[in-house]
Structure 1
Amino acid sequence: MRALDAVAAERAGDAVLSVRDLTVRFRLRGGRTVAAVTDADFDLAAGECLALVGESGCGKSVLASALLGLLPANAETSGTALLAPPEGTKDADAVDLLAADERTLARTVRGRRVGLVPQSPAAHLTPVRTVRSQLEETVRALTGTSRRARGKAAEDAAARAAFPAGHLDRYPHELSGGLAQRAATALALIGDARLLLADEPTTGLDRDLVDRTVDELRRHADDGRGLLLITHDLAAAERIADRVAVMYAGRIVEIAPAHRFFGSAGPRHPYARGLLDALPDRGFTPIPGMPPELSALPEGCAFAPRCPAATELCATRPAFTAGVACHHPERPRA
């Protein structure tokens, strides 16, 4: 974990990804609407890891799917998500991921400019092909190297993801959940995409493998690429993140440097502070109540019914100011 003061100052001009007002709505039968993501704003710099954290169902994975054009047909998106052009190319090669058509995303973005470590690896692995053949095919598609070079590149990718060489000739159904996750991570690392989206990349892994996996993802960022780590594992986020974005009920409610968020000062939003206080090594104090239904969000602060600091002012929606969206932000701890 690094203090990113210098990078933060340069982020606006060195952003691999710039997201503005990203909103996702799902239209359901009967005219109901689910507000999965609302007005998400953030930049991701080259060489930076931004960890997006929050309870299950808060919209983290929907945000990642929107960036790759992988939402279902009943989804409506708005806003912009500008992907910087590849190094050495013209500014005209920048792509708005939300406006790009499927042909552009499939041929020039997914795998090549944006890599994905999926939340459900089984859905992304071909069941009738071995892991080795899928790795080699991905190498061929992204790099066009010779057959011999493809084999070496595939084995190197497997080693980077801590996938055992003795399992390369197995089929996906022969893998445990943890091994399938590592196979999916190896596939995502092959293209050395300038932006990597890692959606719960440590699912099914023991602590040692969690550390090894996120350290490899950190190295990916340290080579000058952007890493968006979507996770509920706050220990993994603390290990490698430069900044932390906290999501609640479809909204980003706080963005803070990781050294401050996990350090003695702590987060400023009451929900973010509650996430940390619920950890076994912090206080093991659960946040009372349940998150609201995304189809029936309140007009004001969505966290107010669970917040000990809520007042009548919280019936109005707080603006995102100085890195936090809260009428009563916490003071930094001593």
Structure 2
Amino acid sequence: MEGGRYVEAVSDATFTLAAGECLALVGESGCGKSVLASALLGLLPANAETAGSARLADGLDVLAADERTLARTVRGRRVGLVPQSPAAHLTPVRTIRSHLEETVRELAGRTRARTRARTRGGAALRDAARAAAERAAFPATHLDRYPHELSGGLAQRAATALALVGDAPLLLADEPTTGLDRDLVHRTVDELRSHTREAGRALLMITHDLAAAERIADTVAVMYAGRIVEITPAAAFFGASGPRHPYARGLLDALPERAFTPVPGAPPELGALPPGCAFAARCARADATCRAQRPPLLEGVACHHA
């Protein structure tokens, strides 16, 4: 809701994500990427009006599921999440080890009392927590630290470790490389790629880091002003031909290793979208048709000139 009225934060977001596949969702801040991830986990506020469906492999429609189903059978078990701003999702009075062990316990369906009562079970719990930390490159020496004692990069790795605990068939990673140096970006991306391809799981990665997307993605979806304006194989997107939508091409041209030319202007307000193409005011190819008619997504691209 904006200014007392509803706005469409995301619309016409249609895609299929197969087992073993990574889809990278890219676009400027505020275009609706994180809202889409929240919808897929049933985390939008109660007054958010949603339409359409988001179906898992077994047919469950996440958008239509009740809170009990989402909490008990979906979140963490069938859909994992690496959240944006991970420090805000960590309990400040609990150590990272406690976070991990509690997550292992809950996903295994064990109670705290039963776990403590069985030394062998407790050892397995600790081993699972350490293994999850190792997979996310979180140092074992920091497991007994509290969230406020971690850097932004360490908090990001802690959140990634928590998301990997349940081995969910679908993982949503919202900016999983934020705050990491390039070596750790590569290690995190490689772990997510292994988690996806070798184990036959699906990954939706939301990112501003196009280099990370090129390293991991099978498919790239570009979002602008709440809509997917291009969805194409990563090999084509990063290849010689490049993307077909002017905005998508502009994102690549803004990279330092390419033209290093930023996309001019700023995205429109979601509550005041123009009648035609939302990118028309920033596009050198825009004409009267672009300004009057909203282009549909056809053959993977929403552009009158593609």
Q: TM-score range by the shorter chain?
A: over 0.9
Is contact 1:250–1:294 with CA below 8 Å preserved after alignment?
yes
Mapped to 2, the partners of 1:72 and 1:209 lie a distance apart of 34
User: Quick one: which of 129, 133, 157 aligns to 1:158?
Assistant: 133
Determine if the alignment matches structure 1 residue 280 to structure 2 residue 253.
no
Residue identity in the other structure for 2:154:
L
- Is 1:267 the counterpart of 2:243? The answer is yes
Q: Per-residue displacement from partner, 1:267-306 (whole Å, max 9, x unpaired)?
A: 0000000000000001100111110000101111000010
> Structure 2: how far apart are the matches of 1:83 and 1:125?
27
Tell me if 1:215 matches 2:215. no
Deviation at 1:35, TM superposition (A): 1.5
CA separation in 2, counterparts of 1:304 and 1:74? 31
TM-score normalised per structure 2: 0.94
For residue 74 of structure 1, report the CA deviation from its aligned partner.
3.2
Moved more, 227-236 or 143-152: 143-152
Letter in 2 for 1:271: Y
Equivalent in 279, 292, 295 of residue 318 of structure 1: 295
**1:1-334 equivalent positions in 2, closer than 5 A:** 27-30=1-4, 32-85=5-58, 94-143=59-108, 144=110, 146-222=121-197, 223-314=199-290, 315-329=292-306
Question: Residue 161 of structure 2: SS of its match in structure 1?
Answer: helix
Contact preservation (8 Å) 1:35, 1:295: yes
Q: 1:24 corresponds to which residue?
A: none
Give me the TM-score of the superposition, normalised by structure 1: 0.86
C-alpha deviation, 1:233, in angstroms: 0.5
- Tell me the secondary structure at the aligned position of residue 70 of structure 1: coil
The answer for the alignment partner of 1:14 in structure 2 is: none
Deviations 1:102-146 (Å, cap 9, x if unpaired)?
Answer: 111001100000000000111221111110011011111112482
Deviation at 1:28, TM superposition (A): 3.7
Give the secondary structure class of the aligned counterpart of 1:197: strand
Structure of greater relative contact order (alpha carbons < 8 Å, 6+ residues apart):
2
**Partners of 2:15 and 2:125 in 1: CA distance:** 36
The unaligned stretches of length 5 or more in structure 2 are: 116-120
Distance, in Å, in 1 between the alignment partners of 2:98 and 2:286 is: 55
Write the distance in 2 (CA, Å) between the matches of 1:33 and 1:193.
33
Mapped to 2, the partners of 1:205 and 1:148 lie a distance apart of 31
Contact 1:69 1:98 in 2 (8 A): yes
SS in 1 for 2:203: strand
Q: Which amino acid aligns with 1:277?
A: D
CA displacement 1:39-87 (0-9 Å, x = unmatched): 11000000000000000000000000011111123321111000112xx
Distance 1:317 1:69 in 2: 29
Structure-2 separation of matches of 1:319 and 1:75: 24
Q: Name the residue aligned to 1:20.
A: none
User: How many Å separate the matches in 1 of 2:2 and 2:248?
Assistant: 30
CA distance in 2, matches of 1:73, 1:175: 33
Q: What is the CA–CA distance in structure 2 between the aligned matches of 1:306 and 1:28, rounded to whole Å?
A: 24
Structure 1, gaps ≥5 residues long: 1-26, 86-93, 330-334
What is the rounded CA distance, in whole Å, between the counterparts of 2:215 and 2:289 in structure 1? 36
Q: Tell me, what secondary structure is at the counterpart of 1:239? A: helix
- After superposition, give the CA deviation of every residue in 1:202-257 in whole Å (9 maximum; x if it has no partner): 11111111111111111111110000000011000000000000000000000010
Q: C-alpha root-mean-square deviation of aligned residues, in Å? A: 1.0
Q: Distance in 2 between matches of 1:324 and 1:270?
A: 10
CA contact (8 A) 2:2 2:271 kept: no
Q: Is the 8 A contact 1:28 1:74 kept in 2?
A: no
Instruction: Give 1:29 deviation, angstroms.
Output: 4.6
Q: Is the 8 A contact 1:132 1:168 kept in 2?
A: yes
* 1: CA distance, partners of 2:134 / 2:259: 37
Identity of aligned residues (%): 79
Q: Secondary structure at the match of 2:204?
A: strand
